[in-house]
Structure 1
């Protein structure tokens, strides 16, 4: 998991101004604040987003007395061609110590890819943001969440009180999810009437991990060799969710699995469940994934398998099978672990799209 040192809060405020300026321009509001600091902030953010928006990424940097000594990021699918140079320049702007994160998104047996991933490093002072969005009925809501939710979250925090040491995460996440819902409807209008998305996001800091989820995408933390679920799936067959649906006038039908009105496999559309977990020395890694993984791979199996991948005990053979090895894989281990975990789900019969982030 990332180990993040302190950064200057002024950087966050500058980035926030850049986001507000871009958003105002999109809705026709002018802003003449074009001073040098803001322009530098925009350039920094644009370069940074080029790097972290790749499908597979691994960033590894080290920090010692504000001096950066970084290895090039490994990008399996990348644009533009000079992404390594951009990555190095971006890393030089940060005083952050990180290990690795990796992600993968596979269409599986679906005709259309409706999943989306989001990785925003150093989004807030001392925090990184990771998100998995599993769309249903279409991809536009998942894509909107990927592009906007982290920005909405940052705006809500700064509008609430701006004190990063005393954030009411449950309130902030609830407000952010509702604002995101309004924003999706404003942008897409009637187009999203039958379209939605699950959300599971993790805000990872040096001292704590905050997880918010809505739907059946899941976050699982491996701590001291034990798999700990940091989210609860919102499924219509859960007794508490079934009771809530029926009290609201809904109905759950067991038709190829329990579904709301025989159609929806998830039981919530917007209200998130939020957990805040203090980090410990035993924390190993965090897995965020869509139900394409969790429907066929239990939490403990996923964590055991990922641990072996990260330790170099499992890798892909030339023929696509797996075998053990003693030498630790040094290049992009988190992305390779995510890839192998997705392949494990496919081998176990998953026909859904699969999206995974390992931190």
Structure 2
């Protein structure tokens, strides 16, 4: 009787062992599959970015940089609005090239690797700017205490254009034929900036121009260890909808904007369809007007407006 019962239970036990074995195998397979899917998502995300970087015609021109101007060079035809995302960055260094080079090498990667880059882009931008700043200060080990850099970043995610700015590099768009500033220059004499600096224990004084502590002519920047308590790297972020009324974007350092107004810049390059030619035109005009500063300039034309423009010219 006992032998008979054991004989009946043996197949059930083997079946149970088989099920446990198969479940373990399935779980191991699921873990591998999830890891592969995670890798695939990261790969596709980075691929979208890489693809986007080849769907734009932009350029920057410069004279010999004494203080390390920064730009992400991206060159192709025109930006295709069906692409997932695009990141452009320019910056301008002061007190040597170290800070500008660090921002160039790290801000872009800190941004696109942020876990919320797509889901909460504004938060990712703010985190990336501040993280880049703090890591630069750690890396310097009290050297180059006056090295700093401005930065303006234009990020396109779907139909949203987000422009982040620290310092006095500026972003201007042409929408419906009109010049619109989509960033604000951070200057120490602005009421809110001056109040923030003074609340932190600093001061603003005139020394040829308004300066933080009588030294620095911008109120926000990367680096600037000696003034860090007052000169923050918190970006101001503005958002614009990308639609058929958005014609082009200009990102440029203060060497351009010191001598060319937003309206003049837009009017000057509106008829120029080639973005590289447009950027060079702005550069030439700035130097003809006596700009003695190094200049970084990027022009981006949006594909959605090209058809309308060509149509209008042919009519």
Task: Give TM-score, length-normalised by structure 1.
Answer: 0.63
2: CA distance, partners of 1:243 / 1:95: 40
Residue 235 of structure 2: which of 262, 272, 296 is its match? 272
Contact 1:105-1:116 within 8 A present in 2 as well: no
Higher percent of residues as helix: 2
| 1:343 equivalenced with 2:297 (yes/no) | no
Change in 2 beyond 3 A, CA 1:15/1:105: farther
Query: Structure 1 residues 206, 296: closer, same or farther in 2, change over 3 A?
Result: same
Report the alpha carbon displacement of residue 306 of structure 1 after superposing the two structures with TM: 1.6
The answer for the alignment partner of 1:114 in structure 2 is: 68
> Residue 131 of structure 2 corresponds to which residue in structure 1?
179
Q: Contact (CA 8 Å) 2:253, 2:296: kept in 1 or not?
A: yes
Q: CA deviation at 1:97?
A: 8.5
Q: Does the CA contact (< 8 Å) of 2:85 and 2:155 recur in 1?
A: yes
1:135 aligned partner: 93
Partners of 1:208 and 1:140 in 2: CA distance: 32
Q: Is the 8 A contact 1:174 1:272 kept in 2?
A: yes
Contact 1:119 1:129 in 2 (8 A): no
Partner of 2:165: 213
Give, in angstroms, the shift of residue 9 of structure 1.
Answer: 9.6
- For 1:120 and 1:183, locate their aligned partners in 2 and report how far apart those are by CA, in whole Å: 26
1:1-39 per-position Cα deviation (integer Å, ceiling 9, x unaligned): xxxxxxx9966613889xxxxxxxxxxxxxxxxxxxxxx
Output the aligned Cα RMSD: 2.8
Whole-angstrom distance in 2 between the partners of 1:10 and 1:303: 43
Summarize the alignment of residues 1-359 of structure 1 with structure 2, pairs less than 5 Å apart: 13-14=42-43, 94=51, 98-107=55-64, 112-119=66-73, 126-156=84-114, 158=115, 160=116, 164=118, 167-269=119-221, 270-310=233-273, 333-359=274-300
Unaligned runs of 5+ in 1: 1-7, 18-40, 49-93, 311-332
Q: SS state of the match for residue 72, structure 2?
A: strand
Deviation sequence 1:260-312 (CA, Å, 0-9, x none): 111101011311101121112111110001000111111010111121332xx
1:90-128: per-residue Cα shift (whole Å, max 9, x none)? xxxx48983522222223xx7x14211114699xx7111
- The 3-state SS of whatever aligns with 1:231 is coil
Q: How many residues align?
A: 247
- The whole-number CA distance in structure 2 between the counterparts of 1:137 and 1:276 is 31
Q: Summarize the Cα distance change of 1:186–1:15 in structure 2 as closer, same or farther, 3 Å threshold.
A: farther
- C-alpha contact (below 8 Å) 2:59/2:74 kept by paired residues: no
CA displacement 1:114-149 (0-9 Å, x = unmatched) = 211114699xx7111111111010111111111111
Quick one: distance in 2 between partners of 1:106 and 1:334?
19
Change (3 A) 1:168 1:348: same
Corresponding residue for residue 73 of structure 1? none
Describe the shift of the 1:298–1:263 C-alpha distance in structure 2 as closer, same or farther (beyond 3 A): same
Normalising by structure 2, we get a TM-score of 0.71
Q: Deviations over 1:187-229 (max 9, x none)?
A: 3322242111001000123401111100111111110111111
